[in-house]
Amino acid sequence: MTEKPANKMWGGRFEMGHAQIMEEINASIGFDKVLGPQDIRGSKAHAAMLAAQGIITAQDATSIIDGLSKIEAEISAGQMVWSRSLEDVHMNVESRLRDLIGTAAGRLHTARSRNDQVALDFRLYIRDRVDGLDAALGRLMLALARKALAHAGTVMPGFTHLQPAQPVTFGHHLLAYVEMLARDRSRLADARTRLNECPLGAAALAGTSFPIDRHMTARALGFDRPSANSLDAVSDRDFALEVLAAASISAMHLSRFAEEIVIWMTPQFSFIRMSDRFTTGSSIMPQKRNPDAAELVKGKIGRIAGAFQSLLMVMKGLPLTYGKDMQEDKEVTFDALDAFGLSVDAMSGMVDDLEPRVDILYAAAGRGYSTATDLADWLVRTLQMPFREAHHVTGRIVAAAEGKGVDLEALSLGDMQRVEPRITSAIFDVLSPENSVKSRTSYGGTAPQNVTEMASRWILQLEKPAETG
């Protein structure tokens, strides 16, 4: 087994290098190099603060910041050469800075540790991703609200147990997901508020004896405040767990909708059409149009929820403060947030693309005696019948219709009056799916007027950020 020379960045205590397998398990540059932009931002703020406090000279700070800007440009252009022997993004950036500006680069690490540095970089990364995910969820909500407005009066069956329950409108159905996604954005916003504390300056775990100004670096990096306890600052990964938990809940919502798309596209339902843009074919069955995009969204929930569980297991047994176990926090988080962001964008595309098959939806809304509740409500309103009695009478009428093999609308008045003689022809005013949905005018109900108002309100709210910025 080969060994390499001790790491020049930190190897003063060590006489020999790592075994090859130690380098394999220890190096994180393969995945944490995505933190390069955040590492540069944090280092620039730190250098500026060190100079302002007289800890390093203004000349050194200028050289450091200029060098970091060059590295930032190299990273952006894909020209940065990452070395596994330097372990991680922090050591790679510092080594490259030394190549560019010489010994002054060594002053950058004054009054900080890789422990607070990685905690900072990871927070900045998560905060950036939360902002991007929030915007993506907003776009999906807007796509849903616009489609809902266009189909505020399109009647479809509402389901419980995947059995016909009561008629609703397609727009109302879509707005249910708008409400879910609004809660998802709220959870992400809450998580962002809690993560927005700056750990930089906690150093390895105990703070530093240098006269640093942690409030200055916090302000420079857009944080609300510096973290109040140095031990917690370097050991906390709650911010990543919270965002992964929120992403898992939101991905579950996407998965539910994706499953509905899969069901709706089957010939047995045929509720919607989707174009070639979001479907695929079969290598052997030429008739197939498969909803692969929706199926892949469903599949990604496992990776996202799994990342939350993975990080939870990493953290559950760690004493304060930092352990190398915590290097396992990033790869799963990066993957999960990538998968979540891709799923949100794919769902936005599918919402724009799908079109409901209005006639089929309306016909399906009338099957399964879905207006039985409307009949029972009519008995209560018109005949002053107690609801439980009306429920029983309606059940007998449904049984009569079932016995004749017809829908409630097609059952004769005489057949109904044999069950309840006081029923009049006015009953037929409530038995059509269209009249059923129009009657559901209670706040939050499926009446087309309600759906139009709510969809318009959401569109107005969601379009404002797009217009202003």
So which residues are the catalytic ones?
161, 282
Give the rounded distance of the alpha carbon of 289 from its chain centre: 28
Q: Are strands 355-356 and 272-273 parallel, antiparallel or unpaired?
A: antiparallel
- Residue corresponding to tokens 């030394």: 98
* Cβ count near 341 (within 10 Å): 16
Q: Can you read off the two tokens belonging to residue 144?
A: 């849903």
For residues 41 and 124, give the distance between their C-alpha atoms in angstroms, rounded to a whole number: 9
Angle at Cα 124 formed by Cα 244 and Cα 468, nearest 5°? 90
CB 197 within 8 A of CB 242: no
Write the CA distances from 54 to 24, 59, 219, 303, integer angstroms: 40, 11, 19, 48
Burial of 373 (0-12, 13-18, 19+ CB in 10 A): middle
Strand partners, 272: 356
Residues in the chain: 469
Q: What one-character DSSP code corresponds to residue 73?
A: H
What residues contact 185, with CB distance under 8 A and at least 6 apart? 134, 137, 138, 141
Q: Is 60 exposed, middle or buried (0-12, 13-18, 19+ CB in 10 A)?
A: buried
